[in-house]
C-alpha cells in the first residue's frame, strides 16, 4: 500500500511523525461489519477507547453505530459527536460519582456495572437525580482468551465484572434497588482474539447465566458480549478487513435467545486498527558490532503498544525501492527508554537519513495511548479519503 511514489511525494511535505488514516478503508470496514451485524439483527457499539479521533468518530457515527464508553469524558464525547444517548453504554470498574452523574444526565442506554457496590452507588445517585438508571450486570465469565495477559479480562483473577460467587447477592441487591432497571447481562473476555472457539465458549457460558436469571424470574432483554475480535497485524494488505461474517455467525449459532432478546457488541480494534498507520522519518542510521539501528522520529510516545505489550506491528518503507538490498534493522525511537523499540531485526531496504517508514495497523490503541513524555509534541494526524 505504501510502495507507490505518489504517496511518498505527498508525505514528504508533511512534518513527521503523524498518523495516517485511510477513511476509505475505514468506510469499507464499517460497511462490512454493519452488513454482517444487520443481517442478524445485532447491535454494534463502537468502543471509543480504541480511537476517539474526531473524523474517525464522525464516520462511525454516520454509519449508525452506537458507542461504548469507559469514562465520563468518553460519554460526553460520544454525545458531542452525535451518537444517540439511547445507543451509549458506559463500562469500567471505577466509575466516579461525577462520571455516573454525567451519564445519568444524558440518559444513556445502559451502565455496564462491574460490582455490587457500584449498583448501590448508581442507585443512590439515580435517586438523587430523580431518574431510573438502566443497567447491565457485567459477569466475569472466567474464560481464557489466550491472548496477551495484559489484555485478557475475562478470568477470575482479573478485576473486571462480578464473579460467579457473588451473583446471588447481586441479584438480590438489584431487586432492592428501586432506581435501577436491569436491562441485560454484559461480558467481555479480552482483546485481539482470532480463535473463534473463544467466542463459542463465551456463548455457552452466557446461555447458562441467562438461564440462571430466567429461572429466578428475571427477564434478560439485552445480551452484551463485549468486543475483542482481532485483526491481522502480520498481513494488513492481504487482510485489511476482519472476517465479520465468521465472527457474528458464531454468536448467531451458539447464543440461545428469543426474537425479543437483543444481542449487543462492543467492537473497537476490529473496526479501526487497519485504517491507521504511523508515518515516521529516519533520523539516523547506526551500526554496532552485531546490530544495525534505524533511529526514527516516532517513539513509544506516539505508539506505545510495542513497548507496553511487545506487540508486533508491520514496518515498511514508504515509496519505491530496489529489491535485493535488504538489511535487518532494530527500528527504535528517540525516547530515553530501552523499550522504545518498534521492532527488532526488521528486514528493510538499506535506509538513509530522511527515508520514510510506515508502522502499520496502528488505528486502534495508537493515537489514544500517545503521551507527552519527554515533552514530545502533541501527536499529529492526516486523513486520506
Q: Which is nearer to ligand LLP, 301 or 351 (CB)?
A: 301
- CA distance linking residue 363 with residue 60, whole number of Å: 13
Pick 104 or 229: Cβ nearer ligand LLP: 229
In the region spanning residues 328 to 347, those forming contacts with ligand LLP, defined by CB under 6 A, are: none
- Residue 133 or 139: the one with the smaller Cβ distance to ligand LLP is 139
> Minimal distance in Å, beta carbon 297 to ligand LLP?
22
Binding window for ligand LLP (CB under 6 A); candidates: 33-41, 223-231, 314-322, 330-338:
223-231
Q: Which is nearer to ligand LLP, 151 or 283 (CB)?
A: 151
Strand partners, 349: 326
Contact 51, 274 (CB under 8 A): no
Residue 192, all three cell numbers:
485481539
Nearer to ligand LLP among residue 264 and residue 317 (C-beta): 264
Neighbours of 217 (CB within 10 A): 8
Task: Return the number of the residue (270 or 335) whose C-beta is nearest ligand LLP.
Answer: 270
**Near ligand LLP in 242-301, by CB under 6 A:** 266-270
Instruction: Report, in Å, the least distance between residue 188 CB and ligand LLP.
Output: 4
Among 305, 314, 360, 376, binds ligand LLP (CB under 6 A): 305
Q: How far is the CB of 295 from ligand LLP (least distance, A)?
A: 24
Task: List C-alpha distances in Å: 294 to 7, 338, 362.
Answer: 21, 14, 19
CB 238, CB 314: distance < 8 Å: no
| Closer residue to ligand LLP (CB): 188 or 376 | 188
Nearer to ligand LLP, 198 or 348 (CB): 198
Please report whether residue 228 would count as binding ligand LLP according to CB under 6 A: yes
Residues that contact ligand LLP, how many (by CB under 6 A)? 21
- Closest to ligand LLP by CB, 242 or 319: 242
* Three-state SS annotation for 54-73: HHHHHHHHHCCCEEEECCHH
158: three-class secondary structure by DSSP? coil
What are the two backbone dihedrals, phi and then psi, of residue 246, each rounded to the nearest 5 degrees?
-65, -40
Contact 68, 264 (CB under 8 A): no
Name the region of 367 (left: φ>0; alpha: ψ -120 to 50; beta: rest).
alpha
SS3 for 273?
helix
Neighbours of 363 (CB within 10 A): 29
Q: Report the nearest approach of ligand LLP to the CB of residue 92 (Å).
A: 8
88 vs 107: CA distance, rounded Å: 9
Q: Which residues lie across from 89 on neighbouring strands?
A: 68, 110
Binding mask 45-84 for ligand LLP (x = CB under 6 A): --x--x-----------------x----------------
Query: CB 219 → ligand LLP: shortest distance, Å?
Result: 23
Tell me the HSE value of 73 on the side-chain side, using a 13 A CA sphere.
2
With contact defined as beta carbons under 8 Å apart, do 65 and 30 qualify?
A: yes
- Figure out which of the listed residues 91, 119, 126, 346 binds ligand LLP, where binding follows CB under 6 A: 91
134-193 binders of ligand LLP (CB under 6 A): 151, 153, 188, 191-192
Within a 10 A sphere around the Cβ of 193, how many other Cβ atoms? 23
Only one of the segments 15-23, 28-36, 128-136, 227-235 lies at the binding site for ligand LLP (rule: CB under 6 A); that segment is 227-235
- List C-alpha distances in Å: 149 to 167, 201, 300, 368: 25, 18, 20, 21
CB of residue 290 vs ligand LLP: minimum separation in angstroms? 30
Binding mask 96-125 for ligand LLP (x = CB under 6 A): ------------------------------
SS3 163: coil
Binding site for ligand LLP (CB under 6 A): 47, 50, 68, 91, 151, 153, 188, 191-192, 226-229, 266-270, 305, 309, 365
Amino acid at each position: 500500500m505504501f510502495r507507490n511514489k505518489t504517496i511518498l511525494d505527498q508525505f514528504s511535505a508533511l512534518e513527521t511523525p503523524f498518523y495516517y488514516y485511510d477513511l476509505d478503508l475505514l468506510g469499507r470496514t464499517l460497511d462490512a461489519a454493519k452488513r454482517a451485524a444487520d443481517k442478524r439483527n445485532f447491535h454494534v457499539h463502537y468502543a471509543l477507547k480504541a480511537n476517539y479521533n474526531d473524523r474517525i468518530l464522525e464516520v462511525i457515527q454516520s454509519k449508525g453505530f452506537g458507542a461504548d464508553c469507559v469514562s465520563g469524558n468518553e460519554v460526553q464525547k460520544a454525545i458531542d459527536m452525535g451518537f444517540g444517548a439511547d445507543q451509549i453504554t458506559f463500562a469500567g470498574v471505577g466509575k466516579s460519582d461525577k462520571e455516573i452523574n454525567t451519564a445519568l444526565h444524558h440518559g444513556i442506554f445502559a451502565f455496564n456495572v462491574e460490582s455490587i457496590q457500584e449498583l448501590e452507588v448508581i442507585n443512590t445517585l439515580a435517586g438523587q437525580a430523580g431518574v431510573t438508571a438502566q443497567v447491565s450486570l457485567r459477569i466475569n465469565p472466567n474464560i481464557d482468551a489466550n491472548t496477551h495477559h495484559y489484555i485478557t479480562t475475562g478470568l477470575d483473577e482479573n478485576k473486571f465484572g462480578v464473579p460467579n460467587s457473588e451473583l446471588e447477592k447481586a441479584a438480590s441487591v438489584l431487586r432492592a434497588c428501586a432506581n435501577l432497571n436491569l436491562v441485560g447481562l454484559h461480558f467481555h473476555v479480552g482483546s485481539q482474539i482470532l480463535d473463534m472457539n473463544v467466542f463459542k465458549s463465551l456463548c455457552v457460558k452466557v446461555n447458562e447465566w441467562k438461564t440462571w436469571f430466567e429461572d429466578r424470574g428475571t427477564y434478560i432483554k439485552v445480551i452484551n458480549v463485549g468486543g475483542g475480535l482481532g485483526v491481522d497485524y502480520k498481513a494488513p494488505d492481504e487482510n485489511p478487513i476482519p472476517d465479520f461474517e465468521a465472527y457474528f455467525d458464531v454468536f448467531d449459532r451458539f447464543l440461545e435467545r428469543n426474537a425479543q432478546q437483543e444481542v449487543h457488541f462492543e467492537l473497537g480494534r476490529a473496526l479501526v486498527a487497519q485504517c491507521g498507520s504511523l508515518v515516521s522519518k529516519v533520523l539516523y542510521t547506526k551500526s554496532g558490532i552485531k546490530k544495525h539501528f534505524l533511529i526514527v522520529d516516532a517513539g513509544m510516545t506516539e505508539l506505545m503498544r510495542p513497548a507496553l505489550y511487545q506487540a508486533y506491528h508491520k514496518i515498511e518503507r514508504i515509496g519505491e525501492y530496489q529489491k535485493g538490498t535488504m538489511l535487518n534493522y532494530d527500528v527504535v525511537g528517540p525516547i530515553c527508554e530501552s523499550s522504545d523499540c518498534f521492532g527488532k531485526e526488521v528486514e528493510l531496504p538499506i535506509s538513509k537519513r530522511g527515508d520514510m517508514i510506515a508502522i502499520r495497523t496502528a488505528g486502534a490503541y495508537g493515537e489514544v495511548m500517545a503521551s507527552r513524555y519527554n515533552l514530545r509534541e502533541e501527536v499529529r494526524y492526516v486523513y486520506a479519503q
